[in-house]
Chain A
Amino acid sequence: MQPASSLPLGQPRSAGSPSFVRAGFLGGNEFGLIVLIVVFATLFTLATKGFASPFNLFTLGRTMGIDILIGFSMMVVIVSGGLNLAVGAIGVCAVMAAGWAMETFGLPWPLGLAVCLLVGAALGAVNGEAIVRSGVHSFIITLATMSIFFGGMVFLSRAEAFRELPPAIAAFGKLRLMGFLSPLLLVAVATALVLGWLYRFTSLGRRMLAAGASPKAAEVSGIRVDRTIVGCHILSGVLAALAGAMLTARHGAAIPSMAGHLGQDWLLPAFLAPVLGGTLLTGGKVSVLGTLLGAMLVSMLTNGLLLLRVGEFWVQAFLGLLLLTAVLLDLGRRRLLARHRIAV
């Protein structure tokens, strides 16, 4: 530990000190993820034919954009110390509602998007209110609502997809900037910037972090923890809806099964990205950049392994192992840091 001198406040820690290297950026998850991304990108470029082709980069970027949003939709509730199993169900419900509105009333796509995000926000609010009012853990509440939202959606839609959407949506999904860049990735990066701003520079974001890290202390300090938690779930709903909208742009249609049974297919990417990125599951600490990089790494590994002709199914087993490895490495890193602090 640094010598406890009195009040060298406002001055940054000397950048050359060893503690900066260990606890700062270079020792953080973000740097590790960047290294891994570079290493694997190089490996895949060398080992496969198509990895660096403009078309593959385009499809990879598209997938990344969606995975990043899915990761964010979970990250924003993990921050509050909870979780949201219903992200997939909310995402699908939101786009199905928007698809229905666009097909039935001929709404233009911006209004369709608005409907989609509003439905996401509303379902998120339902989750948040149920959690706060019942005092029951978010796990069991969102497990129940995931079943309710998804079942209700399939019942209402008769499991039929909406394929007659405004052509602009599919066109957006197919749009290629500079031959290789998908605008979906740009949407994700823009969202990341907004979230980074939220947590760093707004009182709402700060409140979310404080409520997640220590709800009692936050409450005693004058933060309305209940409202803040509902806010986290609304944000989660909106982000899940946005992820759904992006997926719809990719498919060119709103399909009930696009997130699997009950939306369960989103769960693994939703947790992988924040956990790889160093967002604490206990709440109170967030890394937007880490989540972004985590999702990028996962999408890239999936893409690269598929190009290497590792069967699609084995990739899932691999991702499970990746999550396990990530949490174990993180644990090891944390223990090392803790021991170091004691020893000095």
Chain B
Amino acid sequence: MSEVVLQARAIGKSFPGVRALDKVDLTLAKGSIHALLGENGAGKSTLIKLLTGVHRLEEGELLLDGKSVQFDDPHAAIAAGIGVVHQERNLIPRFSVAENIMLERLGPSVLSRVDQATLRAEAKRWLDLLELDVNPATPVMRLSAAKMQLVEIAKALSLRSRVLLMDEPTASLTPHETEHLFTLLQRLKRDGVTIVFVSHKLEEVLQICDSVTVLRDGRNACQSQPMTGMGRQDLVRLMIGRAEQIPAWETRDRTTAPVALQLDKVSTSLGHQDIDLTLHRGEILGLYGLVGAGRSELAKCLIGLFPLTGGKVTIDGQPAAIGSVAEALNRFGLGYVSEDRKQEGLVLAHSVLDNAGIAVWSKLAGFLGFLKNGQIRERVLPAIERLEVKTPSLAQQVGLLSGGNQQKVSVAKWLAAGVRILIIDEPSVGIDIKTKAYLHELIRALADDGTSVLLITSDMPEMITLADRIAVMDGYRLTGTLVNDRDYPRMSQGIMNLIHGEEQDAA
């Protein structure tokens, strides 16, 4: 193996209530592209933050060129030659492209004069390297998402990073832009730069990476293995701890059941066009698509967070014009488990009881809005028990529970409210495998009991495990619907074909 640049040994990190990383090792060879993989919540982002000085290293050791280093802040990591392109945008919106790229190097002292002309010239070099055709003087807020992403990459490159960490760099790029980025990464690699590539898209990983480290539940599932001879299935097995096997659940057909929710040529203020969907009583309808396909956005329009601009929504045969979530819940029995648990799903600072009970308050409120905790408890407890939420008490603050238990509470909320249609968005983001399997059984049981479920997930195995039918979405439009026969290769192929617009193969 060639020369090692950066090595992490037995790294650990805990947050209140969560053990994010436990004895994680990572070895990066000079001039290589190294994949860092893992499911959501496996600890990739935490590891990146530790390597780049965003979090302080408290357990374990970092070796740079064989010497132990400690980064106290991001600046120290940058100075040591470790650059990063984070998943979230890290640009100053009103600053120019040049100034954003050169933000670390505006001048030697705080009172130095910032020479915009030099900044622009320097920035231009890096933009040219990426063959990115933007004027360095343009404020970044005027750029498209893809160009902003490339500006961030230019910024990391310009720091002459020896190690460049890229967290989902292709998420907002077109295939063409992605190809271009890969050419660039190969060139950097030849120049001796080490690239850590984090991506959900395994095909991309297989295409360009030389070696791979997989994290699972905060631990190494494999450590810096060469990529040669590895296939997609091997990576998946490492990530989820088993092959993509589908539980031997029988295929269900609910299309003869009464229609619970029907969308007829629906268009929305967020840009959806001509969406036709039918969800039957007791059916699990999957909604698959890539990030940015508009699935969560559609859910948010359906529950009344954003207005529809055309078409008809029918619920249980009644035309439904839903103006607010309160109306969706109280009049139509429609609930939404958000993918963004921390922001939209739960009030983290409040107790389990308050979170699970939030959707029943309006039903239980008596004279002058009087609520009895006992009554709420009565409504909530069956749901909490059914989901086996592990909590010391109902008074426990939700933010202190583990991710899996948090997710259970955010599902329990809607069970307690007795919804008849439940939209579940990415149910297994950031939760452990066991809880995930448990949630799957629960969703299936709910549907068996007559709840209609619209399931949004980017996790293909999850989709094929759970859904009765799968609708595929791309670019805010529906591209087709498949009946799920639980044959993984065939289904995943069919879904991919629908995404890439080759409908002839569709079932």
Using a CB–CB cutoff of 8 Å, the interface residues on chain A facing chain B are: 1-13, 201-207, 209-210, 213-214, 216-224, 280, 284-285, 338, 341-342
Contacts and interface: CB of A to CB of B under 8 A. Distances in A.
Please provide the 6 A-B residue pairs with the shortest distance between their CB atoms, ordered closest to farther: A203-B365, A202-B369, A203-B361, A2-B392, A222-B329, A214-B347
Contact of A219 (B325, B377, B385, B394): B325
B418 to A, nearest CB: 13
A8 B371 contact: no
B434 to A, nearest CB: 13
B345 A203 contact: no
Contacts of B346: 214, 217
Given A222-B358, A223-B326, 11 more contacts: A1-B392, A4-B390, A5-B390, A9-B394, A206-B358, A209-B350, A214-B343, A219-B325, A222-B329, A222-B359, A224-B326
Most chain B beta-carbon neighbours within 10 Å: one of A7, A202, A203: A203
11 contacts: A6-B390, A9-B381, A9-B384, A9-B393, A13-B393, A206-B361, A214-B348, A220-B336, A222-B324, A223-B326, A341-B16
Contacts of A2: 392
B381 A338 contact: no
B400 interface: yes
B17 interface: yes
A213 B347 CA distance: 6
Interface string B387-413: 011111111000010100100000001
B371 A222 contact: no
B359 A221 contact: yes
Interface of B: 14-17, 303, 305, 324-326, 328-330, 336, 338, 340, 343-350, 354, 358-359, 361-362, 364-365, 368-373, 377, 381, 384-385, 388-395, 400, 402, 405, 413, 417
A320 B346 CA distance: 36
Contacts of B371: 201-203, 206
A1 B15 CA distance: 12
Nearest to B326: A222
Most chain B beta-carbon neighbours within 10 Å: one of A5, A205, A206, A341: A206
Nearest to B380: A9
Given A8-B392, A222-B329, A210 B372 contact: no
A11 B325 CA distance: 33
Contacts of B369: 202-205
B159 to A, nearest CB: 32
A290 B371 CA distance: 23
Contacts, number: 126
Contacts of A214: 343, 346-349
B346 to A, nearest CB: 6
B16 to A, nearest CB: 5
A90 to B, nearest CB: 24
Nearest to B348: A214
A203 B362 CA distance: 6
Given A218-B358, A220-B325, A203 B350 contact: no
A11 B390 CA distance: 14
Contacts of B390: 4-7
A221 B413 contact: yes
B372 A219 contact: no
A7 B370 contact: no
Given A201-B371, A210-B354, A222-B362, A9 B348 contact: no
A219 B385 CA distance: 26
A24 to B, nearest CB: 10
A12 B345 contact: no
Nearest to A209: B350
Contacts of A204: 369
A206 B354 contact: yes
B14 A342 contact: yes
A222 B324 CA distance: 7
B305 A220 contact: yes
A84 B344 CA distance: 26
A98 B248 CA distance: 75
A294 B361 CA distance: 31
Contacts of B393: 8-13
Contacts of B358: 206, 210, 218, 221-223
Contact of A217 (B347, B381, B395, B402): B347
Contacts of B385: 7, 9
A202 B365 contact: yes
Given A1-B400, A342-B16, A10 B381 contact: yes
Given A8-B392, A9-B394, A202-B370, A216 B343 contact: yes
Given A210-B358, A216-B343, A338 B388 contact: no
A224 B207 CA distance: 48
A4 B400 CA distance: 11
B444 to A, nearest CB: 21
Contacts of B362: 203, 222
B16 A219 contact: no
A4 B391 CA distance: 6
Contacts of B343: 214, 216-217
B361 A207 contact: yes
A222 B325 contact: yes
A280 B348 CA distance: 14
Nearest to B396: A2
A338 B14 CA distance: 12
A22 to B, nearest CB: 14
Contact of B328 (A206, A222, A223): A222
A150 B385 CA distance: 55
Nearest to B402: A4
A207 B338 CA distance: 19
Contacts of A221: 325, 358-359, 413
A209 B372 CA distance: 17
Nearest to B362: A203
A16 to B, nearest CB: 15
B362 to A, nearest CB: 6
A214 B349 CA distance: 9
Contacts of A218: 347, 358
Most chain A beta-carbon neighbours within 10 Å: one of B303, B340, B344: B344
A210 B347 contact: yes
A259 B345 CA distance: 43
A330 to B, nearest CB: 15
B368 A284 contact: no
A342 B340 CA distance: 24
Contacts of B326: 222-224
Given A221-B358, A222-B326, A338-B16, A284 B347 contact: yes
Nearest to B330: A222
B391 A201 contact: no
B392 A5 contact: yes
Contacts of B381: 9-10
A1 B391 contact: no
A1 B17 contact: yes
Contacts of B372: 201
Contacts of A8: 392-393
B344 A217 contact: yes
B49 to A, nearest CB: 16
Contact of A341 (B359, B391, B395, B400): B400
Nearest to B336: A220
A267 B333 CA distance: 45
Contacts of B336: 220
B305 A219 contact: yes
Nearest to B374: A10
A4 B347 contact: no
A207 B362 CA distance: 9
B391 A9 contact: yes
